[in-house]
């Protein structure tokens, strides 16, 4: 356990000091960290899923607080929580079948719930806990074996039966942990391969002799374009340079090395060029639950230009960028103001910032936000590793990946 704590602290520090940046890298690191947290977690006798969830939440809370702007971290924490719940659900289902209990009939379940208050105080607490959460089918199912296993030995007195149950439980607990780790491995695999999966769909979207516009540099976009090229599509790309970091220059270089006809334009020339463009393809920092996009600064302007000229605005993003939160005041709360020295040279402007001789208040302000918020109505299509989706469909996708209980990652004070 202590070595896991050290790992967690190390990662938290790295996030705090912005040594790990970018959603892909942080998603991957988070998933790997959570995997080792789970594998080191000692499993209690009862309610293993609850213990795992608590452990992951404890770590997740620290990670999210370390860099709240890096939404991918929170996404992965929630994904892992969801995985634990899912695995628990399925293993419970099999366990119930194995025990020969008639899980099929709902009436039976209800009956057990009615019985429970009379059983013991521990069961009462468990029940209270379960009612605090939303009454999903999953939580209902989750509670059955716990309450059934804990109070049964004293009440029934059948020793042999209890023993066999606990032995069975041991196997099951190991199995739960194993299954969860397996699932997380799959998740890591998914994060690793999301670029390939997205770019597989490239030929469906990029047609012969089209003109594509993009802004800045996104690895997903790059792979997407390259994949289309590899399938012998011939098309042209306009790259807006993406001030102030000018990542567009890097992208242009990479595209040219793959043999794609590339034109570099300034960000301010986007409106002038958009009428010649057939499709805009950009990357994203995060996709919010309402279908809005947090993307590198400048993309909102491109989206508006695209809408004005009725050019499809396509966002490519791996599913780890899918965030179950709704954006509230995204320009401020989900933004990161970077160093002004990206914009201008400190030395040249140092006399504008001489507080001694300018009445003490700075007359020159330099603001360098990292992100833009693009409202859902400006987005035509999302391409994720599971295929193309409409902005309005995002909430549904999110319901597949996350469980509603985990939207707020906070440890329950009761446990």
- Which member of 105, 208, 209, 357 binds another protein (CB under 8 A)? 357
359 near another protein (CB under 8 A): yes
CA distance 241 to 214: 9
- Which member of 332, 363, 399, 404 binds another protein (CB under 8 A)? 332
Structure tokens at 216: 């800045």
Which residues partner with 372 through β-bridges?
A: 295
- Which member of 328, 348, 408, 414 binds another protein (CB under 8 A)? 348
414 near another protein (CB under 8 A): no
Please report how close the Cβ of residue 21 comes to another protein at its closest, in angstroms. 10
Please report how close the Cβ of residue 56 comes to another protein at its closest, in angstroms. 21
Structure tokens at 16: 């705090």
CA distance 276 to 46: 64
Nearer to another protein, 37 or 397 (CB): 37
- Which member of 45, 326, 346, 393 binds another protein (CB under 8 A)? 346
Count the site residues for another protein by CB under 8 A.
37
DSSP structural state of residue 289: T
- Which member of 163, 358, 396, 410 binds another protein (CB under 8 A)? 358
User: Which residues in the 64-93 window bind another protein by CB under 8 A?
Assistant: 65-67
* Angle between the N-to-C axes of helices 137-149 and 121-132, in degrees from 0 to 180, rounded to the nearest 10: 170
Q: Is 225 within 8 Å of 251 (Cβ atoms)?
A: no
CA distance 85 to 78: 11
Residues 6+ apart with CB under 8 A from 355: 361, 362
- Which member of 105, 208, 209, 350 binds another protein (CB under 8 A)? 350
- Which member of 25, 132, 337, 399 binds another protein (CB under 8 A)? 337
Distances (CA, A) of 370 to 17, 73, 271, 331, 340: 16, 18, 21, 10, 11
For another protein, the binding residues (CB under 8 A) are 6, 9-10, 13, 16-18, 65-67, 332-333, 337-342, 345-348, 350-351, 353-362, 365-366, 368
């Amino acid at each position: 356990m202590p070595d896991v704590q050290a790992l967690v602290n190390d990662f938290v520090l790295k996030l705090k000091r912005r040594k790990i940046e970018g959603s892909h890298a942080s998603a991957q690191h988070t998933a790997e960290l959570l995997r080792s947290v789970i594998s080191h977690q000692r499993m209690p006798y009862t309610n293993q899923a609850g213990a795992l969830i608590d452990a992951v939440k404890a770590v997740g809370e620290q990670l999210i607080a370390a860099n709240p702007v890096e939404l991918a971290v929170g996404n992965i924490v929630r994904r892992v929580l969801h995985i634990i719940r899912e695995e628990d659900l399925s293993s419970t289902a099999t366990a119930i079948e194995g025990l020969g209990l008639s899980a099929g009939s709902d009436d039976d379940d209800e009956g057990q719930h009615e019985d429970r208050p009379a059983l013991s105080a521990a069961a009462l607490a468990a029940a209270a806990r379960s009612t605090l959460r939303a009454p999903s089918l999953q939580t209902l199912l989750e509670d059955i074996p716990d309450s059934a296993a804990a109070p049964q030995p004293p009440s029934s007195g059948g020793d042999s039966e209890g023993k066999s149950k606990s032995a069975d439980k041991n196997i099951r607990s190991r199995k739960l942990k194993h299954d969860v780790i397996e699932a997380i491995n799959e998740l890591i695999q998914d994060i690793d391969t999301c670029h390939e999966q997205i770019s597989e769909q490239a030929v469906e979207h990029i047609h012969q002799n089209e003109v594509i516009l993009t802004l800045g540099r996104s690895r997903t976009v790059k792979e997407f374009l390259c994949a289309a090229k590899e399938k012998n599509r011939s098309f042209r790309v306009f790259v807006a340079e993406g001030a102030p970091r000018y990542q567009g220059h890097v992208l242009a270089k990479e595209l040219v090395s793959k043999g794609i006809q590339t034109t570099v334009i300034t960000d301010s020339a986007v409106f002038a060029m958009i009428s010649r463009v057939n499709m805009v393809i950009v990357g994203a920092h995060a996709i919010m639950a309402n279908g809005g996009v947090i993307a590198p600064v400048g993309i909102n302007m491109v989206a508006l230009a695209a809408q004005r000229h009725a050019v499809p605005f396509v966002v490519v993003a791996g599913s780890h960028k899918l965030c179950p939160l709704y954006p509230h005041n995204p320009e401020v709360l989900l933004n990161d103001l970077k160093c002004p020295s990206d914009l201008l040279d400190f030395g040249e402007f140092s006399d504008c910032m001489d507080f001694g001789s300018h009445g003490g208040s700075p007359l020159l302000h330099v603001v360098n936000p990292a992100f833009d918020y693009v409202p859902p109505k400006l987005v035509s299509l999302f391409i994720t590793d599971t295929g193309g989706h409409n902005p309005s469909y995002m909430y549904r996708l999110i319901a597949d990946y996350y469980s509603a209980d985990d939207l707020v990652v906070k440890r329950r004070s009761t446990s």
